[in-house]
Structure 1
Amino acid sequence: MVFLSWARPSPKDQKDCINRSGTFNYDVKYRGATLSILKQDQDQDQQLLDGFLINHSKVIVGSGSDAYEKAKTALKTWRHFGLDWAFVDPTTPIQNGVKFCVCVKEFLPWLRMPLQVVYVDETKNRKAFAFGGGTLKGHLLAGEERFSVEMDQDKQVWYEILSFSKPAHVLSVIGYPYVFVKQKYFAHQSSEAVKKFVSP
């Protein structure tokens, strides 16, 4: 099952994708693993983890408490997906268990890919906010992606993306090298979108 749209997906198209999606398409033992990966060596980029490929990006998007609050707002309103070729309905609440649809333009069609919020993690005493989304049946990939913002001791605000994935459909098996390059491109574009929102 693949969700395709020849025009930019409407709210109805996105809702249809969510309603027709199945359960998680990756093993329960990996659910929330993007939290534990961060506690290990972060130089695992492009290494395999039980068949999953890890993708990691971390950049400074501003400095100070105001920048942190703006960066957190950017995540909560899906500004990190505010791209010409990729988006999520910005009214989608970031709450554990909420399903959402990522829409991505690929050449002629748009792909609609269903996910579900696996966890929301906020540490107010050290100014850190993150959430992880897991792929559902109907997604071309199997895995999880974490988006986070954090202010460090030097008051620098970091935006981080961490994911692990592997093909879940014949289309992604054939085109996985391209998919991995596209993930890198998304990380760059997404970081720029957050930077722009934090410091317009």
Structure 2
Amino acid sequence: MELLELHRYESKKLNFIFFVQHNKEMVFLCWARPSPQEQKSCIDRSGAFNYDAKYRGATAKPLSCLKEDKELSHEGFALNHARVLVGSGIEAYEKGKNALQAWRHFGLNWAFVDPKTPVQNGAKFCVCVKEFLPWVMMPLKVVYVDEKSTKQSKASFCFGSGTLQGHLLAGEERFSIELDENDQVWYEILSFSKPAHVLSFIGYPYVMLRQKYFSHQSTNAVLKHLNPLQS
């Protein structure tokens, strides 16, 4: 196992630590719920995308295309997918779209994104996740934002984000809301990822379980936003 070096940054406004491997891979940890300043510091210290440019924007494709991509699986990426019916009608679709734009799908007590983060191409942000004692801050960058109508759907809104250096995983994730031809509204999560740090490599089975758990919790958060009286 590669030796991990521990670095600590501390001031009156910031108090977080980060591990650095000898190959410069990092993971950002924070003892308390990360403040906007701490998230900004994490983003400033993160690097470029940590996955190959040829896969940039791949989550914009349908699930079937990613399943058929042998190169993706050959390079060790695993798929995670969830698609759940959350309502019906144009009003529910617009509420779902607003939920994604306001990061309501991350409105959890153990995971969040700063709701002021703009959902626009090129925006950088942190996904903050509570894991045991510390919080983990994982930097990403929005790769694409798309809203359209097709033969299969009356309207759809989605955006995809790619992992940056300093993230525990390497890969990309898409969140989408769709109003189909039957006026049903669907919330979908699609991602591909693989370990990008020795810590995630060791605990990858746990990481995959957490991805499934997040999908379930995120769906509940969207449902709560669309149907507040039923929550």
Q: TM-score, normalised by structure 1?
A: 0.95
Residue-by-residue CA offset, 1:16-64 (whole Å, 9 max, x unaligned): 11111100000000000111243527699xx935310000000011110
Q: Structure 2 CA distance, aligned partners of 1:41 and 1:134?
A: 16
Report how far residue 127 of structure 1 moved: 1.1
Structure with bigger RCO (C-alpha 8 Å, 6+ apart):
1
1:88 equivalent in alignment to 2:88: no
Q: Which residue of 2 aligns with 1:131?
A: 159
Is the alpha carbon distance of 1:192 and 1:50 closer, same or farther for their aligned partners in structure 2, counting shifts above 3 Å? same
1:176 equivalent in alignment to 2:201: no
Q: Structure 1 CA distance, aligned partners of 2:63 and 2:204?
A: 24
Q: Which runs of 5+ in 1 are unaligned?
A: none
Q: Which residue of 2 aligns with 1:197?
A: 225
RMSD over aligned Cα atoms:
1.7
Alignment of 1:72-87 (within 5 A): 72-87=97-112
- Which of 23, 29, 33 aligns to 1:4? It is 29
- Which of 55, 60, 81 aligns to 2:85? It is 60
Q: Which residue of 2 aligns with 1:28?
A: 53
Q: What SS class does the counterpart of residue 186 from structure 2 fall into?
A: strand
Alignment of 1:103-122 (within 5 A): 103-122=128-147
Q: TM-score, normalised by structure 2?
A: 0.82
Q: What SS class does the counterpart of residue 48 from structure 2 fall into?
A: coil
Q: Structure 2 CA distance, aligned partners of 1:117 and 1:48?
A: 23
Is the alpha carbon distance of 1:191 and 1:184 closer, same or farther for their aligned partners in structure 2, counting shifts above 3 Å? same
Q: What SS class does the counterpart of residue 188 from structure 1 fall into?
A: helix
Residue-by-residue CA offset, 1:94-115 (whole Å, 9 max, x unaligned): 0000101000000000000000
Matching residue's letter, 1:84: N
Q: Structure 1 CA distance, aligned partners of 2:163 and 2:89?
A: 34
Q: Which residue of 1 aligns with 2:177?
A: 149
Runs of 4+ more than 4 Å apart: 41-44
Q: What SS class does the counterpart of residue 61 from structure 2 fall into?
A: helix
Aligned sequence identity (%): 68
Q: What SS class does the counterpart of residue 48 from structure 1 fall into?
A: helix
Task: Report the structure number with the largest CA radius of gyration.
Answer: 2
Q: Which runs of 5+ in 2 are unaligned?
A: 1-25
Aligned length: 198
Matching residue's letter, 1:119: Y
